[in-house]
């Protein structure tokens, strides 16, 4: 009996200690004292300052408040937010960094490096370039749309997981990985914003530290096929009065030994979702003609995209990676871009399209 007591008594003590409700120790509920930040919006302030905006409290049943600060340093903004809000703001749940286009033209890498150096920040942080006044949009929509910041995050997460090619989605880890690669340059999605809408516009191209240009509409669709998801759920080709669906691409790039010519061969498979043109696509001969029209159109659009990157001397398509060989010493980035800028480009599309199903 005495032995049983010796065994049972310590077990009961362990149960009491491990049980949250029965714990003899009183702890502060720190969840009540902190507010996890879901996004930061960065803009160019006056006199060289940085304008930082966020919504507080995030994802709580309290009235949303828009906080904006003008600071000299990013870390200074974090500190001053805590002095103005009754909960301590934590960056552990920071999921979106929205950078205004005007600020991006001046600096991007230094800001992202500062964010990345914070051990609390997740590498899954989404980066977005914004055209327009995002703060005005937040001010108007925060009372009409509950948990607006959370739903923006869910949108980015959805398109990242589905890989539909509808839009470019980039996290901070992917961005910085391309910054430090000699044969690639980072890209970011561009969203256009006004008081009523927050809509995807296209893809921003960077040349290492510098924002140098962007593509939208059909050029952006070509970028998705050539270098991003290699898949488009929908591809409307308005000049041909046809809309393709479930479009998948396989891309093969080859640079000749003298670095004079870049050959791009693209195999595309898809189906016709809608057709309003003059051809009778139930006829096999007419269908072949439409197929050739699609090939010719895609070749021209892809050529325009490649020439644009050559003019910008930027590498979002990562063409330089195709020059690497175990038998050759890699050339410097500067040397490669000088070749790339003057390179002759050949683009060939091989398209296999399923006819419109009835």
Look-up of token digits 């000088």: 338
Q: Which residue has the higher pLDDT, 281 or 218?
A: 218
**Number of Cα atoms under 13 Å in the Cβ half of residue 114:** 13
The answer to whether 221 and 229 have CB atoms below 8 angstroms apart is: no
User: Which of the listed ranges 52-66, 101-115, 309-323 does the model predict with the highest average pLDDT?
Assistant: 309-323
What is the rounded average pLDDT for all residues in the chain?
Answer: 85
- Confidence tier at 150 by pLDDT (50, 70, 90): confident
Phi, psi angles (nearest 5°) of residue 33: -105, -5
- Confidence tier at 20 by pLDDT (50, 70, 90): very low
pLDDT of 61 over the 70 cut:
no
Q: Hey, what are 74's tokens?
A: 């990013």
Phi, psi angles (nearest 5°) of residue 38: -95, -25
Closest CA to 188 of 201, 160, 169, 210: 169
Q: How does strand 344-354 pair with strand 261-275?
A: parallel
Distance (Å, rounded) from C-alpha 176 to C-alpha 190?
18
Mean pLDDT, residues 289-317:
96
- Confidence tier at 86 by pLDDT (50, 70, 90): low
Mean pLDDT, residues 2-20:
53
What is the pLDDT at residue 292? 96
pLDDT per position as a tens digit, 312-353? 999 999 999 999 888 888 899 999 999 999 999 999 999 999
User: Which of the listed ranges 149-153, 157-161, 225-229, 270-274 does the model predict with the highest average pLDDT?
Assistant: 270-274
The answer to whether 100 and 44 have CB atoms below 8 angstroms apart is: yes
- Confidence tier at 33 by pLDDT (50, 70, 90): very low
pLDDT per position as a tens digit, 257-270? 999 999 999 999 99
The answer to whether 348 and 265 have CB atoms below 8 angstroms apart is: yes
Long-range CB contacts for residues 23-26, cutoff 8 Å, separation at least 24:
none
Distance set, CA 249 to CA 146, 298, 313 (Å) = 39, 12, 25
Can you give 221-239 as a three-state secondary structure string?
HHHHHHHCCCEEEEEEEHH
Can you give the chain as a three-state secondary structure string?
CHHHHHHHHHHHHHHHHHCCCCCCCCCCCHHHHEEECCEEEEEECHHHCEEEEEEECCCCCCCCEEEEEEECCHHHHHHHHHHHCCCEEECCCCCEEEEEHHHHCCCCHHHHHHHHCCCCCCCCCEEEEEECCHHHHHHHHCCCCCCHHHHHHHHHHHHHHHCCCCCCCCEHHHHHHHHCCCCCCCEEEEEEECCCCEEEEEEEEEECCEEEEEEEHHHHHHHHHHHCCCEEEEEEEHHHCEEEEEEEEEEEEEECCCCCEEEEEEEEEEEEEEECCCCCCCCHHHHHHHHHHHHHHHHHHHHHHHHHHHHHCCCCCCHHHHHCCCCCCCCCHHHHHHHHHCCEEEEEEEEEEECCCC
The answer to whether 71 and 50 have CB atoms below 8 angstroms apart is: yes
What is the pLDDT at residue 306? 97
Distance (Å, rounded) from C-alpha 64 to C-alpha 55?
6
Ramachandran bin of 181, using left for φ above 0, alpha for ψ from -120 to 50, beta for the remaining angles = beta
């Amino acid at each position: 009996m005495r032995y049983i007591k010796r065994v049972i008594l310590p077990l009961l003590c362990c149960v009491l200690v491990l049980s949250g409700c029965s714990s003899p120790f009183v702890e502060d509920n720190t969840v009540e004292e902190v507010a996890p930040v879901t996004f930061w919006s960065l803009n160019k302030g006056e006199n060289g300052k940085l304008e930082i905006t966020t919504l507080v409290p995030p994802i709580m049943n309290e009235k949303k408040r828009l906080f904006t600060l003008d600071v000299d340093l990013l870390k200074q903004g974090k500190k001053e937010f805590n002095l103005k809000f009754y909960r301590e703001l934590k960056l552990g749940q920071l999921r979106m960094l929205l950078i205004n286009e005007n600020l991006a033209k001046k600096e991007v890498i230094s800001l992202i490096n500062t964010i990345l150096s914070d051990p609390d920040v997740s590498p899954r942080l989404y980066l977005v370039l914004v055209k327009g006044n995002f703060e005005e949009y937040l001010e108007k929509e925060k009372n009409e749309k509950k948990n607006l910041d959370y739903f923006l995050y869910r949108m980015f997460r959805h398109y990242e997981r589905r890989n539909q090619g509808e839009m470019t989605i980039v996290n901070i880890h992917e961005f910085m990985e391309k910054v430090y690669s000699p044969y690639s340059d980072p890209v970011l999605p561009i969203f256009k914003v006004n008081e009523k809408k927050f809509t995807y516009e296209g893809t921003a191209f960077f040349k290492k530290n510098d924002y140098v240009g962007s593509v939208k509409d059909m050029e952006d669709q070509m970028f998705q096929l050539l270098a991003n998801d290699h898949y488009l759920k929908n591809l409307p080709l308005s000049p041909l009065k046809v809309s393709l669906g479930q479009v998948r691409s396989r891309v093969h790039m080859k640079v000749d030994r003298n670095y004079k010519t870049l050959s791009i061969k693209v195999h595309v498979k898809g189906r016709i979702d809608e057709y309003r043109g003059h051809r009778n696509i139930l006829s096999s001969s007419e269908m072949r003609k439409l197929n050739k029209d699609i090939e010719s159109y895609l070749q021209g659009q892809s050529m325009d995209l490649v020439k644009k990157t050559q003019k910008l001397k930027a590498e979002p398509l990562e063409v330089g990676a195709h020059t690497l060989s175990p038998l050759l010493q890699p050339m410097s980035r500067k040397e490669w871009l000088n070749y790339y800028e003057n390179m002759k480009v050949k683009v060939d599309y091989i398209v296999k399209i399923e006819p419109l199903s009835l």
